[in-house]
Structure formats: C-alpha cells, structure tokens
Copies of this chain bind each other. A is one copy, B any other.
Amino acid sequence: MKVIKFGGSSLASGKQIEKVFQIVVSDPERKVVVVSAPGKRFSEDQKVTDLLIECAEQCLLNKNPKETLDSVLERYAIIAEELALTNGIIEEIRHDLSERLNGDRSKPDRFMDLVKASGEDNHAKLVAAYFRKQGIEAHYIDPQDAGLLVSDEPGNAQVLEESYGTLFSLRERSGILIFPGFFGYSKEGEVFTFSRSGSDITGSILANGLKVDLYENFTDVDAVYSVNPYIVERPKAIKELTYREMRELSYAGFTVLHDEALVPAFQAGIPVQIKNTNNPTAPGTRIVYERDNTNGPVIGIASDQGFCSIYVSKYLMNREIGFGRKLLSILEEFGLSYEHTPSGIDDVSIILRENQISSELENEIKERIKTELQADEVKIEHGLALIMVVGEGMRRNVGTMARASKALAKAKVNIEMINQGSSEVSMMFGVKEQEEKKAVQALYEEFFAAVTV
C-alpha cells in the first residue's frame, strides 16, 4: 500500500489532474492520494492558497472580498470545465467558502487557518468527483472523520500522537481515498494548518498512520540533484539517499522536500519516493533508512550564503569553566540561534545566519561579550557561505577530507573554517560568499566527475 501526494503545480489544471489520475490508477498499491490546493499554471499565475489568504485578510479588514473570492471560484470552475464535471461541485465549493468567510473572526489566526485550509479541502472533493466520473471508486476523506488530530497552533499545528492509531483504520475503507493536505482538526473540532509544505506533512503523517510500504511525493522535478543546478550545469541526479543525507543536504539549499515534513515517515521507517508528475517514468529519488555505498563517498553538495561569525578570543579561555555556556547564554537572550562553534585554544567562533542581526544588535552583542566575559577581542565577520559535502560513504573513508581540501586548494579557495567529526555523514567548509560558486564547482568536479550516482 502506498500514500501518494501531489503538489500544487501537479493539480493546477484539468490537464494536470488527468495526469494525476493516470498515475494513481496505473498502480493498484496507490490507495491514499494527498491533494494540495491548485498551484500555478504558469510562472505569473497565482496560487489558490495565496488568493485565499488575500480573501481572509480582506474579511479581517472588513473589506468586501468578492472579487478575490470570484478569482478562487473561477480557478475551480475552469478546472471543472476542463474535466467536464457537473456544476454541482462548484456549487458545493461556493457554499463551503461562503460559510467559512462568514465564520467567527474574533480570533484572526484561526479564521485565517479556516479559510486557507479550504484550498486543499475543496480541491480534494473536486479530485474525488473526477476520479468517480472516470468510473473509479474514490472517496473524499474528511480529516476530522479520519481522526487527524493536531495541536491548536495556527499555521504551525503539530500532529497529535494518538492520530496515528486512528488513521490506521483508513486501510479498511474501500476504493481510492482522496485526502486534503495541509491541515487537521484540534480536539475541539477547529481547523489548524501545518507550517509550510503542509501537504508534504499530511502525506508523511498518513504514511506513518497507515504503515504503508512507500510514501510517493510527486512534484515538478525529476529528482533531487547532487548539487544546485544554478551552480553546476546538468548535475547528476541522486537515485537513492538516506534520511540523514537528506537532512544534511536540506540544511543548506536543498529545498525539494522540507525536512521537517519527513519526520513522521522517518519515525516509521517508511521510504519516500520523489517523482515528477510531468515525467512519471523518470526514476526519481528515493529516501531510505539505509543504502548501499557503491558510488563513492559523496552523494551531494549543498551550499548556502548569508552567514556571519562572531569571533571571541581570551587568553587562557580554555581553562575557564563555564565560558562557552555563558557565551551561548548571551546569544540565547538575544533570541539568536547558531549553527556551529569551531574553537581554538583561546578563541571560539560562533557561526550564525546574519539576517538575525542588525548592525545595532551587533554592537550590543559585542559590548556584552566584551564586558561580561572580559574577552580580549570580539569581532564579527560577514558574508560567509557554508558548504556541506554529504554522504554516508565518507563515514570510514580515510581520504575524503584530503580530496576535498585538495580540490579547494587547487581552485585557490581559502577555507575559512572546517567542521568535521560529529556528523559521520558530512563535512562542512566555510568560505567567503564570493568563493562559494568556485568552491562548489571544484568539489563537484572532484567527487562527481567520474561517478554515477
């Protein structure tokens, strides 16, 4: 049994939904279909979810949302027409939306969630109607009926553990189950949405709850690539990678699948297959618990800009119990999260995303560290890029660091920082932002030039 999830662009038009239908019925194991709201048909198009947010905002400002509402309804109407569905489904959606928009506005966040969630909810009903019209037994599943319970955090709902047991009984239902993504219900029966990539989260939760064999995630790319295609032309696709590798890669620039979305499937040990709705015969990328290491030590290279480092030095720092803790406490008081803390004997650097720090805050931080820790020197350096070289195969591979650092030296890239040793599946290099591209290209050349991934 499989859970199969389709993203917004895969469901943006009647033509796309026809593809989705063909994909689902081509494999009898595809039991549960998780549906997103209609996405963009072309790059300037608007997503239905964005229109719904606009709608809800207008209501909250006591403006008339009619025009925006009409745009939403028109999107569904066009799709229904393309799929030759009867007008009944559009009337149902119109009725649902008008009920939501007339709902309780006393808690704006919750009102927003209620309206936003309609994009997936109504599209699931439409998709189910189309499947039935094609002569297939298909049912829209109401997340509340199915027991998808979540915490009452607007825009950031967390699945409640007890949901998994209840969801398991969906296995008994007949036909194909069309399940709306992106939201669940609180114990009080209110709608709450997940954070971004919410439909991915729904699919992952259902995969766990139903204990399926595979979670298929259909999107609009053929595969996860070994490196950013904007940096290296036509990079190799990754056929298989582990959860750990995915997590390390997604940290810095790999955004095909939001890593938090994977957690429920990950916890149940269910593999995830990423595929392309527009090219379903392409093998795609499989995310697994374990994989064979037959293709060299490195599976992918990710990089991201926008980091800075806070350098603190103090003679004999090393002997001062509590120094590191006090330093981190100061950052915590400013609400800053940090990435790494490479250290020498008498100095330590804290690497963090620089968008967290204004220049005013920067001076305040410096001052506090100087005064409270009696540091000899505090300086902040901007414009760092972090490069992650990732692969389970480097775990016991003696020469990987030598190859990587040699490739960087050959490309005349100065390594500002190396962090290796805690994670067994990655090593991290810090370089100046203007050297990021050159560095990534050199590393790709070294590890992928003669390797099939």
Instruction: Point out residues on A near B: beta carbons under 8 Å.
Output: 247-248, 251, 259-260, 263, 266, 311, 315-316, 318-322, 324-325, 328-329, 331-332, 335-349, 396, 398-399, 401-402, 405-406, 408-409, 412-423, 425-428, 430
Contacts and interface: CB of A to CB of B under 8 A. Distances in A.
Given A266-B315, A325-B329, A332-B322, A423 B341 contact: no
Contacts of A406: 399, 402, 405-406
Contacts of A402: 402, 405-406, 408-409
A404 to B, nearest CB: 8
Contacts of A343: 339-341, 419, 422-423
Nearest to A336: B321
- Among the interface residues A396, A420, A422, which one has the most CB atoms of the partner chain B within 10 A? A422
Contact of A421 (B247, B401, B419): B419
B311 A324 contact: no
A344 B398 contact: no
A322 B334 CA distance: 11
A19 to B, nearest CB: 34
Contacts of A423: 343-347
Given A266-B315, A409-B402, A421-B419, A321 B335 contact: yes
As for how many copies of this chain the complex holds, the number is 2
Majority DSSP secondary structure for residues of A touching B: mixed
Ranked nearest first, the 7 interchain pairs of A and B with the lowest CB-CB distance are A344-B423, A417-B421, A325-B328, A399-B409, A402-B405, A402-B409, A402-B406
A406 B43 CA distance: 48
A69 B400 CA distance: 63
B401 A415 contact: yes
A322 B336 CA distance: 9
14 contacts: A247-B346, A260-B316, A318-B339, A324-B341, A325-B325, A325-B329, A343-B422, A344-B423, A347-B423, A401-B409, A402-B402, A406-B406, A417-B421, A421-B430
A441 to B, nearest CB: 16
A147 B340 CA distance: 47
Given A259-B316, A321-B335, A339-B343, 14 more contacts: A263-B316, A318-B337, A325-B325, A342-B421, A343-B422, A344-B422, A345-B426, A347-B423, A349-B421, A398-B409, A398-B414, A418-B419, A418-B420, A418-B421
A344 B426 CA distance: 7
Contacts of A412: 398
A434 B428 CA distance: 26
A293 B57 CA distance: 64
Contact of A342 (B266, B331, B339, B419): B419
B430 A413 contact: no
A420 B42 CA distance: 46
A247 B345 contact: yes
B342 A420 contact: yes
Nearest to A259: B316
A336 B324 CA distance: 12
A272 to B, nearest CB: 15
A288 to B, nearest CB: 16
Given A319-B337, A402-B405, A402-B409, A422 B348 contact: yes
A386 to B, nearest CB: 11
Contacts of A319: 337
Nearest to A322: B332
B311 A422 contact: yes
Contacts of A346: 247, 423
A221 B325 CA distance: 40
A221 B413 CA distance: 41
A423 to B, nearest CB: 3
Contacts of A251: 318, 345
Given A263-B316, A422-B347, A332 B325 contact: yes
Nearest to A344: B423
